[in-house]
Amino acid sequence: MPQVQVRPAASADLPALAALDHSYSTDYVWQMEARQEGEAVSIVFRTVRLPRSVRVTPPRDPNALTEAWARRVCFLVAEEGGHLKGYLNLTLAPVAGTGWIADFGVERRFRRMGVGSVLLAAAMQWARSNRLQRVVLETQSKNFPAISFAQKHGLVYCGYNDRYYPNQDVALFFGAQLK
């Protein structure tokens, strides 16, 4: 694990967090297929390899973190040596006892070094300490690195919303029951 420290975010952190490289590259996507046969509707997601690696910009403007700040309940940052490496914002969902993670990012050059894992572990601990029963993480269906991250950490696919984001991308939801 990296020697990053996790602490509550401060409003002074927002400009640096918005300036992080939020883009990601992927060779895979979760492709959605919807079928209707009579009254039966089936939705299937399958992992599809893309013909070439694609660099994707997330659908939300990073400057919208100011709005996320206004809804904060558990807004954490990871830093090392005074450098912000990532953040995670867990809010309360409309469903009682549920924490929602929609704003979660690690600076591109610090990915795959455990920073996201440390942030997620801290958020899950906060959720348990505050008696939440479950946590849900949302991501784009084309954000295969985030899908893999969620599954690696024991979050399981629990739903989707077609045309969820401002750019009309599909959102996937991964959840975990807390003990």
| CATH number of the domain where residue 94 is located | 3.40.630.30
Is the pLDDT at 153 greater than 90? The verdict is: yes
Radius of gyration of the chain (CA): 17
The reported pLDDT for the residue numbered 69 is 86
- Structural domain contains residue 160: yes
Half-sphere exposure of 72 (CA within 13 A, CB side): 21
Residue 34 maps to a domain? no
Residue 3, pLDDT score: 86
Residue 85 is part of which domain span?
5-23+54-177
Residue type, 26: T
The residue-averaged pLDDT of 13-26 equals 93
Residue 45 lies in a domain: no
Could you give the CA distance from residue 90 to residue 150 in angstroms, rounded to a whole number? 15
The band of 97, judged by pLDDT with boundaries at 50, 70 and 90, is very high
Q: Give the pLDDT mean for 99-119.
A: 94
Q: In this predicted structure, which of 26-30, 109-113, 144-148, 166-170 has the lowest mean pLDDT? A: 166-170
Residue 118 lies in a domain: yes
Rounded mean pLDDT of 26-43? Answer: 93
Q: 28 lies in a domain?
A: no
Kindly state whether residue 155 falls inside one of the protein's structural domains.
yes
Domain assignment present for 41: no
Chain centroid, CA 83 distance in Å: 21
Return the ∠ at Cα 134 (arms to 130 and 140), rounded to 5°: 120
Does residue 29 lie in a domain region? Answer: no
- Give the pLDDT of residue 167: 85
| Angstrom distances, CA of residue 48 to CA of 11, 52, 68, 143, 173 | 40, 11, 32, 12, 18
* Segment 8-18 mean pLDDT: 94
pLDDT single digits (tens) 49-74: 999 999 998 887 777 888 888 888 99
What domain count does the chain have?
1
Query: Would you say the pTM of this structure is higher than 0.85?
Result: yes
